[in-house]
Amino acid sequence: MDCKEFTWIMFCIIWIACCFVPSSEAYDENLFSDSLIVIKSTNETIQGRLAAFGPRLSEDEIQGIVIPMEMIESDGRYGCKIIKEKKIKSVVKKYGINILEEGFIALIERGGGCTFSEKVRNMQSSGAKAVIVGNNYGDYHLITMYSGGDTSDIQIPSVFILQYDMYTIRQDYPFEEISIIKADGDWPVTDIFMMTTLLPVFFIFGIFIIYKFRIDSFEAELQAESSASLGAATQEEVDALPIKTFDSKKMKENDPETCAVCIDDFKDGDKLRVLPCHHEYHVECIDLWLTTRKKFCPIYTESVTSTEDAHVIDIPLEEENINENEIENEEPIEEGPTQQEGDLINSDEESDDPDETEPLINLVTRS
């Protein structure tokens, strides 16, 4: 295992480990709401979180007129003091609103030097049936309001909302009828289980796909390098060779009928690659041979990239037939004898007399 492959595997292992380590916010239950505030006039909903003290919300909703306490008294913004119920009714009456006997819903703000339980206790004494506490700074977390002391005397529920939502109610919906209802968690237990179980599986599957892709790419590069080292042709060089469509009706006497690579007979419509040596093969057979083995013809060891005779001259079939017919119709030309042969023939004709042709014999006798 080389250094590059080892580094990649270590990166995958670290990535998988990080998938199983959730962030700190994953354990922060304050990210999720458990209650909803519904504006009756617009049906707009605002997410909230119930306090750890006081009664829980039942299946029945809590309805009432929401009153921003700073509109009753300027120092009643934080709910750190009790406001007489009589004063509240008189101020609200100026807006043409009557508070029902069961009370109202107080809207106050976090801070002011008093605890959450003190705020809710003061609003309970002021005649509120529920309390909405808005954050005093722009954080997107919903917190759970706790109390360190005894809160058994608190008999009304309280809900914490974000600062933006508090401003929305205070400015757009003062003295509007609202309802506080119980809401299911944004992330049910089954959804959390599915996410924590399936998400790492998806990550592992994604890493496997990426790793497989890298391995295939590496093998392709390695094969290309090995093919080049063995003298194989490139795909561009092979694509430059001509291709013809096999037609048995147009075959010549010496044309091949079988692919020498796969040993299958050519069929009409087969695509044949024509090499510079004029040998023909199936395109898929010879292309694989040339790009992975050698750039030579399997039959005739000539390179397909050689410059000598590196092209095939295609002659139309009609022109070939015309040339063949002209050759067949030509009458043979009888050539006469050469000058030397003529001299020999003439000399033979002149010596027809047998007497003249007999050799002269000189007899020499001894005396």
**Quick check: 63 pLDDT over 80?**
yes
Q: Return the structure tokens found at 267.
A: 């069929």
Using CA atoms, how far apart are residues 174 and 69, in angstroms rounded to an integer? 10
> Per CATH, is 231-312 categorized as 3.30.40.10?
yes
Query: Pick from 165, 169, 111: which is nearest to 138 by CA?
Result: 165
Using CA atoms, how far apart are residues 294 and 300, in angstroms rounded to an integer? 12
Q: Do the Cβ atoms of 68 and 163 come closer than 8 Å?
A: no
**Quick check: 188 pLDDT over 70?**
no
Question: pLDDT tier at 213 (50, 70, 90 boundaries)?
Answer: confident
| Whole-number average pLDDT of the chain | 76
According to the per-residue pLDDT averaged within each range, which of 19-28, 62-71, 181-190, 234-243 is highest? Answer: 62-71
Q: What is the pLDDT of residue 228?
A: 53
Q: Under 8 Å CB-to-CB from 234, ≥6 apart: which residues?
A: 228, 291
Q: What is the pLDDT of residue 104?
A: 92
The burial of 18, by beta-carbon neighbours within 10 Å (0-12 exposed, 13-18 middle, 19 or more buried), is given as exposed
Q: Do the Cβ atoms of 180 and 35 come closer than 8 Å?
A: yes
Q: What is the pLDDT of residue 37?
A: 94
**Quick check: 317 pLDDT over 80?**
no
Q: Return the structure tokens found at 250.
A: 């147009």
Q: By percentage, how much of the chain surpasses pLDDT 70?
A: 68
Q: What is the pLDDT of residue 185?
A: 56
The correct CATH number of 29-186 out of 3.30.200.20, 3.40.50.10950, 3.50.30.30, 3.40.250.10 is 3.50.30.30
Using CA atoms, how far apart are residues 20 and 256, in angstroms rounded to an integer? 65
**Residues making up the chain, counted from first to last:** 367
Q: Return the structure tokens found at 282.
A: 């199936």
Helix/strand/coil (H/E/C) assignment for every residue in the chain: CCHHHHHHHHHHHHHHHHHCCCCHHHHCHHHCCCEEEEECCCCCEEEEEECCCCCCCCCCCEEEEEEEHHHCCHHHCCCCCCCCHHHHHHHHHHCCCCCCCCCEEEEEECCCCCCHHHHHHHHHHCCEEEEEEECCCCCCCCCCCCCCCCCCCCCCCEEEECHHHHHHHHHHCCCCEEEEEECCCCCCHHHHHHHHHHHHHHHHHHHHHHHHHHHHHHHHHHHHHHHHHCCCCCHHHHHCCCEEECCHHHCCCCCCCECCCCCCECCCCCEEEECCCCCEEEHHHHHHHHHHCCCECCCCCCECCCCCCCCCCCCCHHHHHHHHHHHHHCCCCCCCCCHHHHHHHHHHHHCCCHHHHCCCCCCCCCC
**Quick check: 352 pLDDT over 70?**
no
Q: What is the pLDDT of residue 168?
A: 94
**Quick check: 216 pLDDT over 50?**
yes
Q: What is the pLDDT of residue 116?
A: 96
Provide the CA 352 distance to its chain's centre, in angstroms. Answer: 106
Q: Do the Cβ atoms of 178 and 39 come closer than 8 Å?
A: yes
Q: What is the pLDDT of residue 356?
A: 44
The larger pLDDT score, comparing residue 336 to residue 98, is at 98
Q: What is the pLDDT of residue 342?
A: 54
Using CA atoms, how far apart are residues 177 and 41, in angstroms rounded to an integer? 8
Q: What is the pLDDT of residue 343?
A: 54
**Quick check: 349 pLDDT over 70?**
no
Q: What is the pLDDT of residues 152-177, one digit of tens each?
A: 999 999 999 999 999 999 999 999 99
Q: What is the pLDDT of residue 239?
A: 87
The larger pLDDT score, comparing residue 58 to residue 348, is at 58
Side chain identity at 235, as an amino acid letter? Q
Q: What is the pLDDT of residue 358?
A: 44
Task: Tell me the HSE value of 347 on the side-chain side, using a 13 A CA sphere.
Answer: 7
Using CA atoms, how far apart are residues 31 and 25, in angstroms rounded to an integer? 8
- Mean pLDDT, residues 334-342 taken together: 51
Q: What is the pLDDT of residues 102-151, one digit of tens each?
A: 789 999 999 999 999 999 999 999 999 999 999 998 888 899 999 988 99
